[in-house]
Amino acid sequence: MAALMLRWSCLGKRWVLACIDGGSRHGRGAAIGLTSRRKRGQSSVAQQPLIAVQKSRKGEHEWAAVVGLEIHAQISSNSKLFSGSQVHFAAPPNSLVSFFDASLPGTLPVLNRRCVEAAVMTGLALNCRINKKSLFDRKHYFYADLPAGYQITQQRLPIAVNGSLAYSVSVGKKPSQVSTRTVRIKQIQLEQDSGKSLHDEPRSQTLIDLNRAGVGLLEVVLEPDMSCGEEAASAVRELQLILQALGTSQANMAEGQLRVDANISVHHPGEPLGVRTEVKNLNSARFLAKAIDFEIKRQIHELENGRKILNETRSFDDKLGCTMPMRDKEGKQDYRFMPEPNLPPLLLYDTASLPPGADPQQVINIDWIRERLPELPGKTREKLIQQYGMLPEHSFTLLNEVGLLEFFQNVIKETRAEPKKVTSWVLNIFLGFLKQQNLAVNESPVTPSALAELLNLLDRKAISSSAARQVMDMKRGNPRAINKLIGLVRKATLSRADPTVIKEILERKLSS
Amino acid sequence: MSSLLSAPSALREDALRRLKREMWARAVKLGLRSWVGWRRGFTSKADPQRSGRVTAEVIEHLERLALVDFGSLEAVARLEKAIAFADRLRAVDTDGVEPMESVLEDRCLYLRSDNVVEGNCAEELLQNAHRVVEEYFVAPPGMCSPKWLNRLSLSELRI
């Protein structure tokens, strides 16, 4: 049975529980407890009889999963949270470390203004209440990459609380079938990052690089309002876009600027919540949904076989596609929280409470920051829909692909073609082309001006749409397409142009 | 409480002696029954079964968390006395009084501008390290799990 479970997860099936709609989670007393997405392709249909058989053997209870997230985003700043050493991704080991970061005796923390502003901006963008007074605490634990033996965080009174994040999930096979969900934000707090440890197994040692130690982090705690991997992944993606739009974090998961820990439990609807496990350090958007779904399945499987879920920490092995226990917790971790004795409370002001004659460098005005918040992704999408009449799902695609929105806007600027045409070309043909060639938008051989020109020709009916598509083909280096285009141009010039000249001009244009 | 433990032992013994004298005087005055009642009230917030004793479990837990060594029964006894001494604070009525979290609560938290002014001193930092490999600090293996604390004694920790 274990092998069967493993195979399901490794095949990457989306056995998403109760993700379809709030309603369908409870209503169906069907034999199949796992409400799988029937529309997701052939193989899922083939698998169904197996699940049905299993379910009727074990009982016909439905399961609901509960997923909460703790997201750590590295603040985009020049220097660290409490010291003046640089924040930079790749640098020689221990070269970006100050005496405070190395926790040498006699050093004290000095708070970075930019990090506070970043936290306030993020709190405002996520509809949080900004606490005008917040406190710093020490969280104690021993680990080789934590030189002080404690991390300065904000446990008792964080800088922002009670917000919300809206995201959308697809609820059917058609791209237009999307539903907006909201997840509550419990709190946002400022905390220090730890250093990096590299395990050198053969020589039985651990190498420590403190370049990352002390970098400012925003911890965003999402309440357990999500119920599957896809919802969690969508919420994280939306948070990424918001952070990037604000400029508070580059939120690049590959570079470790955004790290997600998930708290997962399962229970029968109507009954109390089950024991939860924590899946730590999900550092890739791709594996986030996969890991969460696997853990949900694993827990259901354990419970249905009469076993209990241990309140433990697990990590995701992406090669095997499963979660493994990380370290056995001998009882709950006791962090011995205490107030940070070296830092007074952090006080923020608004226009009404701003002390007169205060040094502007030493006070932070929440209203001032609110007025200068950049446009958030939700607003950008709204504007696209209104301005260009595009469908909601198109606006999502435009924002989801890095650089695509800018590309689109540049094409719009330079072309006379209708916005709907531009949208269709950019999202279908251009994006499809990029995906096929496995290129990012900024690596595209086709510039916005080139595409704009092509669309102008199309608009003027100087070339047919099939000819335009062939130009794109050509960019793929398809020689046949080039010859075809030469033929078309000849036809257009009523066979008066010299084919070799045409070829030269085309090649010049295509290579530009 | 750590400051209490680090206070000069003479002062501590003095205070404890005074406290003991006071306790007995009151007990004699109030009589045996009220003494029992008072004592129960005294330890009401602590575990009544422990009645002032710190269990071996808690000692082990503290040793793991704080990397201290309660090597002898005497040390444990001293800890219990220190806890009892500090418990006298509960006699003070603090209803409706905001706790003071920091003596700095009236000070201004200085905000530093986001400029790079430190770093680039790897050599200096590494010169204090016992072992170094190519500009990395070296830690013994398994330092990354609490389990090692159970295996190593304090002397072995001097790496």
- Full pLDDT tens readout for chain B, 159 residues: 444 455 567 777 777 777 777 676 665 655 555 544 444 444 434 444 345 678 888 888 888 777 788 878 888 899 999 999 999 988 999 899 988 878 888 888 999 999 999 999 999 999 988 889 999 999 876 555 445 444 444 444 443
pLDDT number for residue A266: 94
Alpha-carbon A414 to chain mean position: 32
Rounded CA-CA distance A311/A332 in Å is: 9
Helix (H) or strand (E) holding A129: strand A129-130
pTM of the model: 0.75
Contact with chain A for residue B113, Cβ under 8 A: yes
Find the closest chain B residue to A332 by CA distance.
B61
Contact with chain B for residue A93, Cβ under 8 A: yes
- Could A341 and B149 be called an inter-chain contact, meaning their C-beta atoms sit closer than 8 Å? no
Beta-bridged to residue A166, according to DSSP, are: A182
Judge whether A404 and A398 are in contact, CB under 8 Å. Answer: yes
Return the closest-CA partner of residue A400 out of A168, A194, A67: A168
Of B101, B106, B121, the CB nearest to A135: B101
- Could B138 and A204 be called an inter-chain contact, meaning their C-beta atoms sit closer than 8 Å? no
Judge whether A423 and A394 are in contact, CB under 8 Å. Answer: yes
Helix (H) or strand (E) holding A414: helix A404-414
- Could B115 and A79 be called an inter-chain contact, meaning their C-beta atoms sit closer than 8 Å? yes
Distance from CA of B80 to the nearest CA of A (A): 19
Rg (CA), chain A: 27
Place of tokens 């990096």: A196
Judge whether A75 and A218 are in contact, CB under 8 Å. Answer: yes
Place of tokens 């730890």: A194
Q: Collect the ranges in chain A with pLDDT lower than 50.
A: 1-60, 329-330
Which pairing describes strands A277-282 and A313-317: parallel, antiparallel, or unpaired?
parallel
Q: Is the Cα dihedral A194, A199, A205, A209 positive or negative?
A: negative
Joined tokens for residue A84: 């003046």
Return the closest-CA partner of residue A255 out of A245, A240, A242, A239: A240
Judge whether A261 and A281 are in contact, CB under 8 Å. Answer: yes
pLDDT number for residue A419: 86
Contact with chain B for residue A95, Cβ under 8 A: yes
pLDDT number for residue A181: 93
Helix (H) or strand (E) holding A316: strand A313-317
Exposure string (b/e) for A357-379, b if CB count within 10 Å is 16 or more? eeeeeebbbbebbeeeeeebbbe
- Could B115 and A78 be called an inter-chain contact, meaning their C-beta atoms sit closer than 8 Å? yes
Substitution target from B126, B136, B145 for chain A, most A beta carbons within 10 A: B136
Give residue-wise pLDDT tens across range B3-17.
445 556 777 777 777
Residue A184's Cβ-side half-sphere holds a number of Cα atoms within 13 Å equal to 7
Length of chain A: 512
pLDDT number for residue A497: 61
3-state DSSP assignment of residue A84: coil
Return the closest-CA partner of residue A285 out of A113, A400, A446, A197: A400
Instruction: Tell me the chain A residues in contact with residue B109 when contact means C-beta distances shorter than 8 Å.
Output: 111, 343-347
Distance from CA of A251 to the nearest CA of B (A): 19
Contact with chain B for residue A105, Cβ under 8 A: no
Joined tokens for residue A365: 């005005």
Instruction: Tell me the chain B residues in contact with residue A326 when contact means C-beta distances shorter than 8 Å.
Output: none
Q: How far is CA A114 from CA A111, A134, A257, B111, in A?
A: 9, 16, 17, 9
Instruction: Tell me the chain A residues in contact with residue B65 when contact means C-beta distances shorter than 8 Å.
Output: 140, 334, 336
Distance from CA of A4 to the nearest CA of B (A): 33
Length of chain B: 159
